[in-house]
Amino acid sequence: MQINSMLQTVTNITEKYNNFYEVLWYDPKVNRTLCLSISLPPQFPMVAPVYKVTPPVYHPWIDSSGMVVGHKKLGTGWNQHVSLANLTNEIIKELKSGKITAAPGASPQLSYPGLGMSNSLPRMTASATGSYYYSNQQIPPRNPNNVVAPNPYFQSLGHTNSMPASTVYSQSNNDNMNDISLADLDSMSLDELKELLNNDNKRKEYINKKDKVKEMKQVVEELSTSNKDLAEKILSFKENFENLKAELREHQNILKGEKAQFETLMAEQNKYVSNYSPEKLYSTLQQSSYEADRESEEIANDFLMGTLSADEFLKKYRTARKLHHLRSEKLELFSSNQDTMFIKK
């Protein structure tokens, strides 16, 4: 809900990847395109979002690392009920209010491309001679005088862009080959350069002679050997691992059998226990006392009808009445001590 509201109400916002968003705008005061990145931590909305401005600029709300910390609802002022969309719009409004100034020592640039996105304006990079060139422009072919043809854009800036081709080439690939020297290209003739350009074997031989390339290959070989040793070590545990898995499955099967047997015995126990519950015992005892009393009454009736002799009557009647009185006494004892004789569940 919070994220959808922000995407609908914040102008020019784009989602770069999961829980990371960017807003770009051009600030004429500092003559550059600024980027406000919004990062939502995994604990969001319980934890406040993180706002950061790039490239480096100065503003009362922004600390030395570019983090936005000046809004009162960030940090300790954040809670899960704060509107993410309103907070983002308030921060953008403040940053666009004209209080931003260029950070001291900031390098010149035309725009900020943002994280993981391409921009139509290429990045300008300063050369060793003080001129600027586009690092993502295609380098013109080398001419016989080993000089790059003048670029109209650099001429408009007052620069001739007449540095050697090897210098431009090495600087334009600075991100990937910043520690590989290609200065020896300046000493080659045009024919040698053409052969190097068109002959794959010559080009590979030239590249493989570089010390940094040799070091890189050595590191790759060492990593390959290390990975191979690690893989062999892991494979050496395979047999033991499979044995442990088989043993685990065996114990699981035993456990299943024991569990089934336990459940069967518990069901049988519950069936017997239900016959000896306090309520069941009391009902059975009450019924037995009633039957003993009824039996003694039948014996007395038989004696009065003359079907029993005096000795037989005394013997049977005494036994029946004794049983009745014993059961009645147990009923009375049961009723008065039921709470202490049995534990209620």
Q: DSSP letters of 280-292?
A: HHHHHHHHHHHHH
Inter-axis angle of helices 211-236 and 238-275, nearest 10: 40
pLDDT at 86 over 70: yes
Averaged pLDDT for residues 274-299: 83
Whether 21 has a pLDDT exceeding 90, the answer reads yes
User: Tokens standing for 44?
Assistant: 């969001």
| Structure confidence at residue 332 (pLDDT) | 84
What phi and psi values does residue 240 have, to the nearest 5 degrees? Answer: -65, -40
Neighbours of 42 (CB within 10 A): 7
What was the pLDDT predicted at 36? 94
Q: What is residue 278's predicted lDDT score, i.e. its pLDDT?
A: 77
Can you give the pLDDT at residue 310? 87
Report how far residue 345's alpha carbon sits from residue 342's, in angstroms, rounded to the nearest whole number.
Answer: 9
Highest mean pLDDT among 122-131, 165-174, 303-312: 303-312
**Domain end marker among 187, 208, 228:** 187
Token couple for 179:
């520690």
In the predicted model, is pLDDT for residue 307 greater than 50? yes
Judged against a pLDDT cut of 80, whether residue 171 lies above it is answered with no
pTM for the model stands at: 0.35
236-267 tens-digit pLDDT:
999 999 999 999 999 999 999 999 999 999 98
Q: Are residues 91 and 155 in the same domain?
A: no
Question: What CATH number corresponds to the domain at position 28?
Answer: 3.10.110.10
Are 162 and 85 part of one and the same domain? no
Q: What is the pLDDT of residue 106?
A: 57
Question: At 176, is the pLDDT very low, low, confident or very high (cuts 50, 70, 90)?
Answer: very low
Question: Do 80 and 135 fall within a single domain?
Answer: no
Q: Which of 63, 60, 61 is nearest to 71 (CA)?
A: 61
Domain presence at residue 263? no
Q: Are residues 29 and 95 located together in one domain of the fold? A: yes
Whether 198 is covered by a domain: the verdict is no
Residues 291 and 335 in one domain: yes
Cis peptide before 108 (omega within 30 of 0): no
Evaluate whether residue 252 is within a structural domain. Answer: no
Please give the average per-residue pLDDT across 195-201, as a whole number.
88
Residue 112 included in any domain: no
Residue 42's alpha-carbon distances to 19, 52, 86, in angstroms, are: 8, 17, 20
Q: 84 and 8: one domain?
A: yes
> Are 16 and 94 in a shared domain?
yes
Contacts of residue 75, Cβ cutoff 8 Å, sequence gap at least 6: 48, 69
Residue 115 has pLDDT above 90, yes or no: no
Interatomic CA distance for residues 10 and 31, integer angstroms: 23
**pLDDT tens-digit series, residues 201-216:** 988 888 888 888 888 9
Range of the domain at 9: 2-102
pLDDT number for residue 155:
45
DSSP state of 57: E
Based on the fold, state whether residues 16 and 52 are members of the same structural domain: yes
Both 98 and 135 in one domain: the answer is no
Tell me the pLDDT of the chain averaged across its residues.
Answer: 78
Residue 307 lies in a domain: yes
Q: 206-230 burial by CB neighbour count: b if 16+ within 10 A, else e?
A: beeeeeeeeeeeeeeeeeeeeeeee
Q: Which of 171, 187, 203 is the last residue of a domain?
A: 187
Residues 98, 15 share a domain: yes
Report the domain count for the chain. 3
